[in-house]
């Protein structure tokens, strides 16, 4: 009798476990890290993670099934350069400072939450936020998502951007005071750099974001090294906004984790990045958006000159073999386009640079996860990994534009949308 009861208990326990299991029938599954595809797969999801994946997997009794047998599944997408809480109002010649001067941190946080939700529904299951979020607004957006109040992507934060005096503003009369400190921390010596890095880490950031060359003056090698030393000792990465020239030399030599933008990097600089394992997050803006954005602050040549330069730099970076992660830096709004639409409008730039679809998808998944140090949990579909899964009707390894047709999103095992 005792034995029978024990067996019954065991059987019930097995039943309970299976009831918490989701079985996805997949027509095809892509593995961007390996560049391979597998047909007719079963993915078992339990407690937000992938338990098993393969062709000959038995679906346990009581599991709920999701039929995606005419769909292609991929790990969720990652954008490694976003500004969730910032919108640059286009049309007219408003200076960059005006985009944050009239917005409080709460408002910024609410916009960030809306953008986070939109991005997740479009298939972006993780993002790296690179600052311009008022007084650490994204920390609270992430906190609310992690607390389960809202659905949203995994967010890495960077807090206030650390820059030489003046942040990304220029020539504001002294009577106005250092108003940019709402968005930036001034750091103009190695000691100030260390203090700024510590301040950001204190408030919870994962990534240190520096702006190296937005002004006629730029960061020295010693200043970059101080930031890298302080950040790496605390287990944080360093991402640096830099376009090229001597500033980029200092940033590369200083051993940062990623260069952001890098529109004017030379082959020599790209080769050095490859040798040192530094990522390029190229934020390779399409011509259509450069036209809308204008050429901010007179730093850039006009769009008709800059757009081909960006494509050429992307092509050279790919040929040289620099590690790359997809990042868009999208902050503008265009009528009848969502922010995810604008982000996916970067894909034609990658195609024009001659980069094959599997490589683009890799930069949008496993490569970005590696840069963000989350590749043990996300960026590929394998047992033990988080169930961040997207699906679409055609194979993105054959046509990267398939990503515009994503109709299924699962985040940490929770279905966010389905066909």
Q: Residue 329 or 388: which CB sits closer to Zn ion?
A: 329
**Cα–Cα nearest to 206, from 232, 225, 182, 229:** 232
Q: What's the token pair of residue 361?
A: 């998808």
Q: Which residues pair with 25 in a beta bridge?
A: 42, 67
CB of 130 to Zn ion, least distance (A): 5
CB of 247 to Zn ion, least distance (A): 16
CB of 331 to Zn ion, least distance (A): 7
CB of 211 to Zn ion, least distance (A): 9
**Cα–Cα nearest to 46, from 386, 392, 347:** 386
Q: Residue 241 or 411: which CB sits closer to Zn ion?
A: 241
Q: Residue 242 or 406: which CB sits closer to Zn ion?
A: 242
Q: Residue 133 or 140: which CB sits closer to Zn ion?
A: 133
Q: What are the residues whose beta carbons fall under 8 Å from the beta carbon of 379, sequence distance 6 or more?
A: 33, 75, 78, 126, 365, 366, 367, 368, 369, 370, 385
CB of 83 to Zn ion, least distance (A): 6
Whether 174 contacts 145, CB under 8 Å: no
For 317, the enclosing helix (H) or strand (E) is helix 303-320
CB of 286 to Zn ion, least distance (A): 16
Q: What's the distance, CA 362 to chain centroid?
A: 13
In the DSSP assignment, the letter for residue 386 is B
Whether 138 contacts 129, CB under 8 Å: yes
Q: Residue 88 or 329: which CB sits closer to Zn ion?
A: 329
Whether 218 contacts 247, CB under 8 Å: yes
Ramachandran quadrant class, 131 (left: phi over 0; alpha: psi -120 to 50; beta: rest) = left
Q: Residue 257 or 329: which CB sits closer to Zn ion?
A: 329
Q: How far is it, in rounded angstroms, from Cα 294 to Cα 303?
A: 7
For 26, the enclosing helix (H) or strand (E) is strand 21-31
Q: What's the token pair of residue 169?
A: 């503003």
Measured from the Cβ of residue 75, the count of other Cβ atoms closer than 10 Å reads 29
CB of 328 to Zn ion, least distance (A): 9
- Burial class, 376, CB count within 10 angstroms (exposed 0-12 / middle 13-18 / buried 19+): exposed
Q: How far is it, in rounded angstroms, from Cα 204 to Cα 52?
A: 34
Q: Which residue minimizes CB distance to Zn ion?
A: 329
Q: How far is it, in rounded angstroms, from Cα 134 to Cα 259?
A: 23
Strand segments, DSSP code E, in 76-182 are 77-82, 124-129, 154-156, 161-163
Q: Residue 140 or 260: which CB sits closer to Zn ion?
A: 260
CB of 248 to Zn ion, least distance (A): 16
Binding site for Zn ion (CB under 5 A): 329
Q: How far is it, in rounded angstroms, from Cα 208 to Cα 54?
A: 39
Whether 101 contacts 137, CB under 8 Å: no
CB of 80 to Zn ion, least distance (A): 11
Q: Residue 73 or 251: which CB sits closer to Zn ion?
A: 251
CB of 251 to Zn ion, least distance (A): 15
Q: Residue 86 or 364: which CB sits closer to Zn ion?
A: 86
Q: Residue 41 or 328: which CB sits closer to Zn ion?
A: 328
Q: Residue 28 or 134: which CB sits closer to Zn ion?
A: 134
């Amino acid at each position: 009798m005792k034995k029978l009861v024990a067996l019954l208990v065991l059987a019930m326990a097995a039943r309970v476990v299976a009831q918490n299991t989701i079985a996805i029938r997949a027509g095809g599954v892509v593995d961007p890290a390996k560049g391979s595809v597998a047909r007719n797969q079963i993915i078992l999801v339990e407690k937000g993670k992938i338990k098993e994946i393969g062709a000959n997997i038995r679906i346990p009794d009581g599991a709920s099934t999701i039929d995606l047998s005419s769909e292609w599944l991929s790990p969720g997408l990652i954008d490694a350069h976003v500004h969730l809480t910032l919108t640059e109002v286009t049309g007219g010649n408003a200076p960059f400072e005006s985009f944050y001067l009239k917005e409080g941190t709460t408002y910024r946080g609410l916009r960030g939450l809306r953008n986070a939700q939109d991005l997740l529904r479009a298939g972006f299951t993780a993002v790296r936020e690179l600052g311009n979020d008022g007084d650490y607004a994204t920390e609270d957006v992430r906190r609310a998502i992690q607390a389960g109040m809202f659905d949203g992507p995994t967010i890495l934060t960077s807090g206030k951007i650390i820059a030489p005096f003046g942040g990304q503003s220029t020539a504001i009369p002294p009577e106005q005071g250092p108003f940019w400190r709402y968005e930036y921390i001034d750091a103009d010596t190695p000691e100030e750099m260390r203090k700024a890095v510590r301040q950001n880490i204190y408030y919870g950031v994962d990534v240190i974001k520096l702006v190296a060359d937005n002004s006629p003056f730029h960061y020295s090698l010693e200043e970059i090294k101080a930031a890298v030393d302080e950040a790496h000792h605390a287990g944080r990465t360093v991402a640096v906004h830099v376009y090229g020239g001597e500033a980029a030399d200092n940033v590369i030599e200083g051993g940062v984790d990623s260069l952001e933008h890098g529109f004017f990097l030379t082959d020599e600089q790209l080769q050095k990045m490859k040798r040192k394992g530094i990522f390029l997050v190229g934020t390779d803006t399409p011509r259509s958006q450069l036209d809308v954005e204008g050429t901010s602050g007179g730093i850039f040549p006009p769009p008709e000159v800059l757009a081909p330069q960006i494509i050429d730099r992307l092509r050279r970076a790919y040929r040289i073999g620099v590690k790359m992660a997809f990042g868009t830096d999208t902050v503008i709004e265009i009528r009848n386009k969502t922010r995810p639409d604008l982000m996916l409008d970067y894909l034609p730039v990658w195609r024009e640079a001659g980069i094959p679809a599997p490589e683009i998808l890799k930069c949008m998944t496993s490569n970005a996860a590696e840069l963000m140090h989350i590749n043990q949990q996300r960026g590929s579909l394998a047992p033990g990994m988080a169930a961040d899964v997207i699906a679409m009707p055609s194979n993105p390894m054959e046509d990267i534009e398939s990503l515009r047709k994503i109709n299924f999103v699962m985040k940490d095992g929770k279905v966010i949308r389905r066909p």
